[in-house]
Amino acid sequence: MREWKKSDFYFDLPDELIAQDPLEDRSASRLLVLDKNTGEREHHFFREITDYLAPGDCLVLNNTKVIPARLLGVREATGAAVELLLLKRREKDVWETLAKPGKKARPGTVIDFGGGILKGEILEIVEEGNRLVRFTYQGVFEEVLDRLGEMPLPPYITHKLEDKSRYQTVYAKYEGSAAAPTAGLHFTEELLKKIKEKGVDIAYVTLHVGLGTFRPVKAENILEHHMHSEFYHVPEDAAEKINRAKRAGKRVVCVGTTSCRTVESAADDNGLLRECSGDTDIFIYPGYRFKVMDALVTNFHLPESTLVMLVSALAGRENVLEAYKEAVEEKYRFFSFGDAMLIQ
């Protein structure tokens, strides 16, 4: 298999194409449709996606819910500012976090949030400099977090988000993500209703999006890149719907790279699923043979990111980079609040 370099997945992106705010109407974003076999491209609006879904297809959605995982506090001893990003719950009140600045978050440090409403003690430093933190508080942690925490928007979004719900999908259900599965942000209740009425099965899986979303690929040889593991769950009814589509020769259309990574991690060698939970650190790049997914709804991703590598595995690197070049020329909006692609 060919050895891939990070620079193989580079493209030029003007800063002004990075979407800073969500559109008022979620389904009004643009949709670039890419034929993964021929490289042919069409331009549409997202609400027209129903034209590309057929009765018996199975649409796979990730129903994770973003928690307000960004906490701004001060060191109890000195009053120095410290920011924590909650990444993964290790046990009831112990979380793996990303701390900034790290030098002010040594083991034994106590950080105060909200004037004592919430306190966090740094227990230890784990892989890649992340901190394990034990929190103390009165009441229910989720309620405290909802009161004090901010939505953990990616670093390339500099505008303040006025409405927290716009960084959630309309079907978000299970709390646990440090970032939104952004391909799903384009769907409205009305659009999902139309898709169901067309005879498309909708399967909900869960993958809690973690630190990998924020981690750039640093190694030039991409095989040296370390993927963080993320928790996933495939319920029995979702497995049945996906299997039914596969057996009938219909398509499994994943919404977002997180749904893709969930079904590809959970499937057996025949591409069939059963109810299961686990942690996945699957890294999908060109040369990967997909076991389950036939088509993908996805946003436009950062140059040299693992996400561009994943879409290149499905559609071919040249096809993807040509599509991205055209998207730049056509002034598509990029990243979390940006426009979408359907690769089929």
Kindly report, residue by residue over 263-279, the tens digit of the pLDDT: 999 999 999 999 999 99
Q: How confident is the model at residue 214 (pLDDT cuts 50, 70, 90)?
A: low
Beta bridge pairs of residue 201 = 58
Q: Which runs of consecutive H residues, i.e. helices, occur in 27-167?
A: 141-148
> What's the pLDDT band for 155 if we cut at 50, 70, 90?
confident
DSSP state letters, 281-310? -----TTPPPSS-SEEEEE---TT-HHHHH
Neighbours of 197 (CB within 10 A): 9
Q: Which residue has the tokens 């970032």?
A: 179
Answer yes or no: is pLDDT of 213 > 70: no
Q: Is the peptide bond before 101 cis (omega within 30 degrees of 0)?
A: yes
The DSSP symbol for 164 reads: G
| Residue whose structure tokens are 């389950």 | 292
- Side chain identity at residue 93, one-letter code: D
Distance CA 145, CA 117 (A): 10
Q: Which tens digits make up the pLDDT trace of 1-43?
A: 688 999 999 999 999 999 999 999 999 999 999 999 999 999 9
pLDDT at 255: 98
Query: How far from 16 is each of 24, 31, 181, 338, CA to CA, in Å?
Result: 19, 19, 23, 12
The H-or-E segment that residue 245 falls in is helix 236-247
Q: Tokens 């009765």 label which residue?
A: 55
Nearest CA to 202 among 247, 260, 241, 168? 241
Mean pLDDT of the region 307-313 = 97
pTM of the model: 0.93
- Residue 96: name the closest of 116, 124, 75 by CA: 124
Percent of the chain, pLDDT > 90?
87
Hey, what are 299's tokens? 């946003």
For residue 154, give the 3-state DSSP assignment.
Answer: coil
- Strands 340-343 vs 295-299: parallel, antiparallel or unpaired: antiparallel
